[in-house]
């Protein structure tokens, strides 16, 4: 009890100190915004009264001051954000699970992202951060924010136009499944293409060596399409109980999840647009709901181990 109380007191002291830094940064940003607005006003007035030179000079002076102030505070902002993650978020995560280790600058490697087979397109641009690792009972798990994109290039009259398209944005969760799978089994949301594949798969429609697996849970087959190179192993993994648990987990997600079972691990992709664990700039660190959203998503990830009953060791690693 004393250690828990001391922890809360220490966290409050950290928040009080960081709040001073936050206010300084926030006020500087507000001043920059005002100066940029003033620069535009001076320019417009100068043009209206037919003194464009005066307007441009006023614009440049105000804008330059704003840019210099913004540049000068940049290092303080980076340090503030780093201190918030290292001291505030890392400490708060311990209230969910004492084993949690938070590595803000680390994430899920691009190699692991590709080898998870959750997606069919390899990224041309890949960003990841905020890796959280931990254990609950017998199961090790980890998750991180990921933004993966691919690019397309088209020829235009003015040259080559490059466009970026999102493959995935959200959180990738991974856990030890305690079995070395012989092949990979992948469960993806049912798109139009997947529906066609499932329709033809009554006679085992295949993509190369990978087959669409028909399962005995109609609701599961209506929501997902399952691919595997081994029908027997896929059904061994996706037991009736496991399919019910996956459906229950999916119902708690805003968008349809994707799951793969590969190399003794389970991977789950949760599409999300919100960026978590970021320090607020224009709202107080002393707000009672400061960490509500962050801890909510962490608890959701943490509870997956129990939701999918991963601690029940019905197999041993071969």
Indicate if the pLDDT at residue 35 is higher than 80. Answer: yes
Indicate if the pLDDT at residue 286 is higher than 70. Answer: yes
What one-character-per-residue DSSP string does 238-304 give? S-HHHHHHHHHHHHTSSS--EEEEETTEEEEEEE--PPPSPPPSSS-TT-TTTTHHHHHHHHHHHTH
Asked whether residue 79 falls in the same domain as residue 106, the answer is no
Residue 51 in domain: yes
pLDDT digits (tens, 9 = 90+) for 102-124: 999 999 999 999 999 999 889 99
**What residues contact residue 244 under an 8 Å CB cut-off, 6+ apart?**
217
**If you average pLDDT over residues 65-86, what whole number do you get?**
93
Do residues 213 and 183 make contact, with C-beta atoms less than 8 angstroms apart? no
Relative to beta strand 159-176, strand 265-271 is antiparallel
* Selection from 91, 88, 92 nearest residue 80 by Cα: 88
Residue 279 in domain: yes
Asked whether residue 86 falls in the same domain as residue 105, the answer is no
Last residue of one domain, picked from the residues 93, 112, 132:
93
Angle between helices 52-83 and 2-48 (to 10 degrees): 170
Asked whether residue 76 falls in the same domain as residue 109, the answer is no
Indicate if the pLDDT at residue 198 is higher than 50. Answer: no
Q: Give residue 32's domain range.
A: 2-93
* H-run or E-run covering 43: helix 2-48
pLDDT level of residue 190 (50, 70, 90 thresholds)? confident
* pLDDT on residue 4: 53
Asked whether residue 179 falls in the same domain as residue 293, the answer is yes
* pLDDT on residue 313: 53
Last residue of one domain, picked from the residues 40, 66, 93:
93
Asked whether residue 189 falls in the same domain as residue 144, the answer is yes
Residue 318 in domain: no
Across the chain, mean pLDDT equals 86
Burial, 21: exposed, middle or buried (Cβ in 10 Å; 0-12, 13-18, 19+)? Answer: middle
Asked whether residue 202 falls in the same domain as residue 274, the answer is yes
Residue 157 in domain: yes
> How far is C-alpha 164 from the chain's CA centre?
18
Do residues 146 and 183 make contact, with C-beta atoms less than 8 angstroms apart? no
* pLDDT on residue 215: 86
**If you average pLDDT over residues 39-62, what whole number do you get?**
86
Indicate if the pLDDT at residue 170 is higher than 60. Answer: yes
Asked whether residue 303 falls in the same domain as residue 169, the answer is yes
Q: Which backbone phi and psi does 123 adopt, to 5 degrees?
A: -75, 145
DSSP bridge partners of 162: 153
Indicate if the pLDDT at residue 146 is higher than 90. Answer: yes
Residue 314 in domain: no
Indicate if the pLDDT at residue 225 is higher than 80. Answer: yes
Burial, 98: exposed, middle or buried (Cβ in 10 Å; 0-12, 13-18, 19+)? Answer: exposed
**If you average pLDDT over residues 7-12, what whole number do you get?**
72
pLDDT level of residue 54 (50, 70, 90 thresholds)? confident
Q: How many domains does the chain have?
A: 2
Asked whether residue 108 falls in the same domain as residue 174, the answer is yes
Residue 150 in domain: yes
Neighbours of 160 (CB within 10 A): 8
More confident position, 276 or 196: 276
Last residue of one domain, picked from the residues 93, 123, 154:
93
> How far is C-alpha 298 from the chain's CA centre?
11
Residue 313 in domain: no
**What residues contact residue 30 under an 8 Å CB cut-off, 6+ apart?**
none
Asked whether residue 71 falls in the same domain as residue 123, the answer is no
Asked whether residue 27 falls in the same domain as residue 113, the answer is no
Asked whether residue 163 falls in the same domain as residue 213, the answer is yes
End-to-end CA distance of the chain: 43
Residue 189 in domain: yes
Asked whether residue 145 falls in the same domain as residue 263, the answer is yes
């Amino acid at each position: 009890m004393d250690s828990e109380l001391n922890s809360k007191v220490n966290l409050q002291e950290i928040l009080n100190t960081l709040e001073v830094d936050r206010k300084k940064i926030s006020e500087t940003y507000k001043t920059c915004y005002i100066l940029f607005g003033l620069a535009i006003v001076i320019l417009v007035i100068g043009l209206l009264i037919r003194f464009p030179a005066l307007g441009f000079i006023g614009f440049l002076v105000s804008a330059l001051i704003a840019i210099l102030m913004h540049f000068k505070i940049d290092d303080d902002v980076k340090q503030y954000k780093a201190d918030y993650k290292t001291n505030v978020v890392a400490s708060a995560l311990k209230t969910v699970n004492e084993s949690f280790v938070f590595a803000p600058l680390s994430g899920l490697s691009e190699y692991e992202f590709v080898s998870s087979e959750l997606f069919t397109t390899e990224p041309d641009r890949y960003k990841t951060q905020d890796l959280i690792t931990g254990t609950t009972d017998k199961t090790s798990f980890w998750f991180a924010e990921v933004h993966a994109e691919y690019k397309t290039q088209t020829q235009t009259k003015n040259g080559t136009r490059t466009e970026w398209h999102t493959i995935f944005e959200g959180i990738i969760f991974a856990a030890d499944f305690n079995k070395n799978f012989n092949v990979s089994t992948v469960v993806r949301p049912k798109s139009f293409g997947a529906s066609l594949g499932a329709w033809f798969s009554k006679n085992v429609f295949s993509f190369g060596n990978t087959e669409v697996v028909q399962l005995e849970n109609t609701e599961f087959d209506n929501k997902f399409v399952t691919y595997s190179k081994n029908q027997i192993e896929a059904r061994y993994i996706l037991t009736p109980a496991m399919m019910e648990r996956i459906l229950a987990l999916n119902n708690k997600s805003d968008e349809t999840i994707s799951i793969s079972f590969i190399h003794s691990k389970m991977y789950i992709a949760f599409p999300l647009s919100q960026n978590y664990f970021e320090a607020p700039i224009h709202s107080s660190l002393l707000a009672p709901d400061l960490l509500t959203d962050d801890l909510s998503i962490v608890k959701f990830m943490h509870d997956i181990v129990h939701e999918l009953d991963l601690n029940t060791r019905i197999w041993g690693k071969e």
